[in-house]
Copies of this chain bind each other. A is one copy, B any other.
């Protein structure tokens, strides 16, 4: 609570990043329910919210810990009291490995690797720090980004990790990011099954070499219902489910087309100019909402189309029809991509019903290193 608590939403200075606490809490409960019903551990991705406070809400709701995409995020989570962190991206180089060991002294920490040289560096860093670091082999199950191919190459890395006293082979990571937004549910399910099969076959090969494979981690918001039903992973890594990008609205969720999560994040913008009868200029441009996932979607202004008008301006046009807005009016938007929009802001304006309940800082914003 603070000076803004209980102010009205209409009085918030714009552009502002708004978070609906009720919707957020429902999303947390739903993902936890999905994972628990399937007997999966739930390790949500903190890259989405970049907030130790939200991470601890997720853990309070049943999560075993969080994922981070970058070491800088993990440092903020560890410093903020998050007890269990998995780094989903390789950590490369002497400087970052030294930082990684610092963070590993503050929280239970695991990291992926896909290269023998990097594994040797991790082992040396852990030995110097007097730690035994949990390492997972990253397996490329179809995304074509980081990771070694399934099968023999992954087994070689598992052997390599197991060969160092300062490292603990924890398991395998297999994340297929490309299918999270596949529109058709059946096609998404088939692709998720294929990714999972590659990971399970690799895990069996690693076990056949005599290694324990405690953790099989992967999955995202788009495949969460499918991952729960397939029940092959030991833990799931969904991130965006807490906010729900507007672009998720374009994909089918199951055979009944039900969306298990709801949009909790919005942007509030103001009309600052009315240069023509059919147009309004807003105070929200590229610096206030991300564009990499498409345009944000205005709500409550039927017939209006949004376009960017520079770094700090946006435009709503009614294309010849009269614009109903006056200077000073507020307009709400759904962001197309929440994670990259969060990265533009220093805090969430947290609302419940019609009032501002709290402000939450975003301390891992910009922590891409």
Q: Tell me which residues from 71 to 93 in chain A have a Cβ below 8 Å from any Cβ of chain B.
A: 89-90, 92-93
Q: Are A311 and B69 in contact (CB under 8 A)?
A: yes
Please state the number of chain copies in the assembly. Answer: 2
Tier of interface size on chain A: 35 or more
Across the interface, A328 reaches (CB within 8 A) one of B70, B93, B291, B308, namely B93
Q: Are B312 and A89 in contact (CB under 8 A)?
A: yes
| Dominant secondary structure at the A interface | loop
Mark interface residues in A137-151 (1 if CB within 8 Å of B CB, else 0).
000100011111000
Mark interface residues in A316-344 (1 if CB within 8 Å of B CB, else 0).
00000000000110000000010110011
Given A283-B368, A286-B290, the answer on whether A92 and B312 have CB atoms closer than 8 Å is no
Q: Are A327 and B115 in contact (CB under 8 A)?
A: yes
Q: Are B16 and A312 in contact (CB under 8 A)?
A: no
Is there a chain B Cβ closer than 8 Å to A13's Cβ?
yes
Is there a chain B Cβ closer than 8 Å to A235's Cβ?
no
Mark interface residues in A180-210 (1 if CB within 8 Å of B CB, else 0).
0000000000000000000000000000000
A53, B348: Cα distance in complex, Å: 28
Given A89-B283, A272-B89, A312-B69, the answer on whether A95 and B11 have CB atoms closer than 8 Å is yes
Across the interface, A148 reaches (CB within 8 A) one of B69, B89, B275, namely B275
Q: Are A145 and B89 in contact (CB under 8 A)?
A: no
Is there a chain B Cβ closer than 8 Å to A105's Cβ?
no
Is there a chain B Cβ closer than 8 Å to A361's Cβ?
no
Q: Are A92 and B272 in contact (CB under 8 A)?
A: yes
Is there a chain B Cβ closer than 8 Å to A263's Cβ?
no
Q: Which residue of B lies closest to A14 (CB)?
A: B369
Given A89-B283, A311-B47, the answer on whether A273 and B343 have CB atoms closer than 8 Å is no
A89, B90: Cα distance in complex, Å: 43
Q: Are B281 and A292 in contact (CB under 8 A)?
A: no
Q: Are B309 and A13 in contact (CB under 8 A)?
A: no
Q: Are B340 and A287 in contact (CB under 8 A)?
A: yes
A328, B95: Cα distance in complex, Å: 11
Q: Give the B-binding residues of A (Cβ under 8 A).
A: 11, 13-16, 47, 69-70, 89-90, 92-93, 95-96, 99, 114-115, 117-118, 140, 144-148, 177, 270-275, 281, 283-288, 290-292, 308-313, 315, 327-328, 337, 339-340, 343-346, 365-366, 368-369
> What are some 12 contacts across the A-B interface (CB < 8 A)?
A15-B368, A47-B312, A70-B312, A89-B283, A89-B313, A92-B271, A92-B327, A144-B275, A146-B272, A286-B340, A287-B366, A311-B340
